[in-house]
Every structure is written in structure tokens, then in C-alpha cells.
């Protein structure tokens, strides 16, 4: 990934390729070339450039259910006596914690957690989170239903 100052900006051709890839991440270079009336080599070069600069990632996203994650939690974490980012990095090491954000507001961190079932939560997941030094309290929201979930805009890291 490149430094911020050198962010590669898409041009119209890039954007057209990206639109096709968002629709179907496995469309072939040949089909992209045909649809956009450009050469296959151009498609290959453009995709390579966008991905190597970190501006584009083609992903195979799997539904939570594919790995048996039936329980999702949105947890606000209150940190005390330790830099929030240190706590965040420790939380990020836990495999069941799939998102960790430093936020403004009443609590320092917002995290998203996936578990296979409620038994797993009580048998370790919540203890694993709450046991991290610097966490004063957690405020747990259990996802009863996900109504909308778009994820095609990534987060700069």
C-alpha cells in the first residue's frame, strides 16, 4: 500500500473496470475488455495497478452463515487507564472480533464480534474480550436481524 500523499486516483477507464468488478468480481479480463472496447492487456495492467496501490481489492466475501456464525454482536467498549489504540490492537488479535474501530463519543471503541452460538459467547468470547487490560466496561448489542449490509467501500489502513 502506498503512502497517503501518493494515492493513485482512478480515471474513467479504471472506474468502468471497477464497476464491472463490483458487479461480478470473477468476470474475466477478456469479458471486461470486450464490454469496454479496450484491449485485454490494458485491463490486466489497470487491475494490477489498482490492486498494487491498495486502491482496489477483489474479494470473495462469505456470508457469516457459511462459517456457522449465527450470533453477531455490536459492542461499545469503554477504555480506562490505557491507550485506547493499544486495547484496540489487542482486541484485533481475537479471531472472532472482525472489526475494531476507534471512535468519538461516550465509548472509545466500537467492535463487531461473531460467534457460532450463545454457548460460545459465555464460554470464552466475552471473557476473552473483558479480560483485556484497560477495558472498563462493554455495552453489548445483539444483532437480531441485519436489514442492510453493503461493504464495497473499504477502509484506509
Partner 1 sequence: MSLVELDDLDRRILDLLGEDARLSNRSIARRLGLVEGTIRARIKRLQQRRLLRFTAITDNRQHGRPTLAFIGIRNDTGRTRELAATIAEIDEVRSVIITLGRFNLLAVGLFPTLESLIELANNRILVLPGVTQVETSVVVKSIKYNERMAKIGFSVDTGAPVDADADAELDSDDDEDEDQSED
In the range 69-98, which residues lie near partner 1 by CB under 8 A? 69-70, 72, 74, 76, 85, 88-89, 91-92, 97-98
Figure out which of the listed residues 7, 52, 123, 124 binds partner 1, where binding follows CB under 8 A: 7
Residue 114 and residue 68 in contact, taking contact as beta carbons nearer than 8 Å: no
Binding status of residue 3 toward partner 1 by CB under 8 A: no
Touching partner 1, residues 15-54 (CB under 8 A): 18, 21-31, 40-41, 44, 47, 54
Residue 140 and residue 75 in contact, taking contact as beta carbons nearer than 8 Å: yes
Figure out which of the listed residues 34, 52, 103, 127 binds partner 1, where binding follows CB under 8 A: 103
Residue 79 and residue 38 in contact, taking contact as beta carbons nearer than 8 Å: no
Ramachandran quadrant class, 130 (left: phi over 0; alpha: psi -120 to 50; beta: rest): alpha
Binding status of residue 149 toward partner 1 by CB under 8 A: yes
In angstroms, the CA 36 to CA 46 distance is 13
Figure out which of the listed residues 45, 102, 124, 131 binds partner 1, where binding follows CB under 8 A: 102
Amino acid at each position: 500500500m502506498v503512502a497517503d500523499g501518493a494515492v493513485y486516483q482512478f480515471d474513467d477507464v479504471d472506474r468502468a473496470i471497477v464497476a464491472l468488478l463490483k458487479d461480478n468480481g470473477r468476470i474475466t479480463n477478456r469479458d471486461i475488455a470486450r464490454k469496454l472496447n479496450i484491449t485485454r492487456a490494458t485491463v490486466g495492467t489497470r487491475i494490477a495497478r489498482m490492486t498494487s496501490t491498495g486502491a482496489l481489492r477483489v474479494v470473495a466475501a462469505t456470508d457469516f452463515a457459511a462459517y456457522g456464525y449465527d450470533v453477531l454482536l455490536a459492542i461499545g467498549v469503554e477504555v480506562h487507564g490505557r491507550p485506547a489504540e493499544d486495547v484496540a490492537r489487542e482486541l484485533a488479535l481475537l479471531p472472532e472480533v472482525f472489526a475494531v474501530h476507534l471512535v468519538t463519543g461516550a465509548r472509545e471503541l466500537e467492535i463487531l464480534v461473531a460467534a457460532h452460538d450463545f454457548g460460545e459467547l459465555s464460554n470464552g468470547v466475552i471473557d476473552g474480550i473483558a479480560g483485556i487490560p484497560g477495558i472498563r466496561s462493554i455495552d453489548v448489542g445483539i444483532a437480531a436481524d441485519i436489514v442492510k449490509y453493503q461493504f464495497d467501500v473499504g477502509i484506509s489502513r
